[in-house]
Amino acid sequence: MGSDPDYVSHLARESARFAAAVAEAVPAAPVPTCPEWDADDLLWHLAEVQWFWGMIVRQALQEPPPAEIRPERPAGRSELASFHAAVSAELVSVLGSAAPQDRVWTWSGDHTVGFVRRRQAHEALIHRIDAELTVGSRTPMDPQLSDDGIDEALRVMYGHAPDWATFSPSGGGVVRLRAADTASTWLVSPGRLTGTDPDPDDGTPVDEACLDVADDRGAEVDATLTGSAADLDCWLWRRPPVATLERAGDHRLLDQLEAVIRPGID
């Protein structure tokens, strides 16, 4: 991977492409990649998410905004679209004005505006793909943003082990993921994450599939998974790749990797 993408510019562009795609769908059109949602549900979801993070960054909140101030869902498509346009523009504005190192609440161990910038650029990108698949007019994804999306999905969504948890490898081996168009690579090992969150509000035991992610420095690998950055990013987010990913090496290990990501990302 090279330098970080311009997340704020990508957020603005992907949000606009999302809105344009949703506008082509009838409100009740089913979203194939989110079976429980129709097009208006998808529109409301991204609008609500962008309102939430805009509020956090604008007010430099150190905890989530209380439920009682969260907006109610607008009644119809026109109102929904207007609400999304307003909160999306607000999010772009506040993220562009804040410094990446400014401290805010996030659900991760990284409590900075920089984390929010990255996360929201990718949130808009993936939901833009959802909207386009809903209307059958899929358009290309930016290779560098997709490359960064692979890294975020692997390290933050699937591969982040908090201090209180233990990662135990399955023993199956190491997979190299390779983005053919950007030449980026990652080494991943499937396994399980176990432990108990010391936070009294979240203190239930954890035992779930997880990935260990390492920088690829020419290590020996047991299998490879190759595709464009966009297709690998979509695969990790359980969205259909445009082209079939190339599998090589230990197929049982590749099946273990598939099993880790099969449930998707919440």
Do the Cβ atoms of 26 and 39 come closer than 8 Å?
A: yes
Give me the helix-helix angle, 113-135 and 143-152, nearest 10°.
Answer: 110
DSSP assigned state of 184: E
pTM, two decimal places: 0.94
Domain boundaries 7-135, corresponding CATH code: 1.20.120
Helices (H), 98-237: 113-135, 143-152, 229-236
Evaluate if residue 228 carries a pLDDT over 90. Answer: yes
User: What pLDDT does residue 138 have?
Assistant: 96
Compute the mean pLDDT over every residue in the chain, rounded to the nearest whole number: 93
Average pLDDT over every residue of 178-184: 97
Domain boundaries, the chain: 7-135, 161-261
CATH topology of domain 161-261: Nonspecific Lipid-transfer Protein; Chain A (3.30.1050)
Calculate mean pLDDT across residues 124-139: 98
Give, in order, the Cα–Cα distances in Å from 253 to each of 53, 173, 189, 221. 38, 7, 9, 11
Q: Do residues 28 and 38 make contact, with C-beta atoms less than 8 angstroms apart? A: yes
**What's the pLDDT at 161?**
73
Dist CA 103 CA 106 (whole Å): 9
Contact between 143 and 181 under an 8 Å Cβ cutoff? The reply is yes
Instruction: Examine the pLDDT at 1 and tell me if it is beyond 60.
Output: no
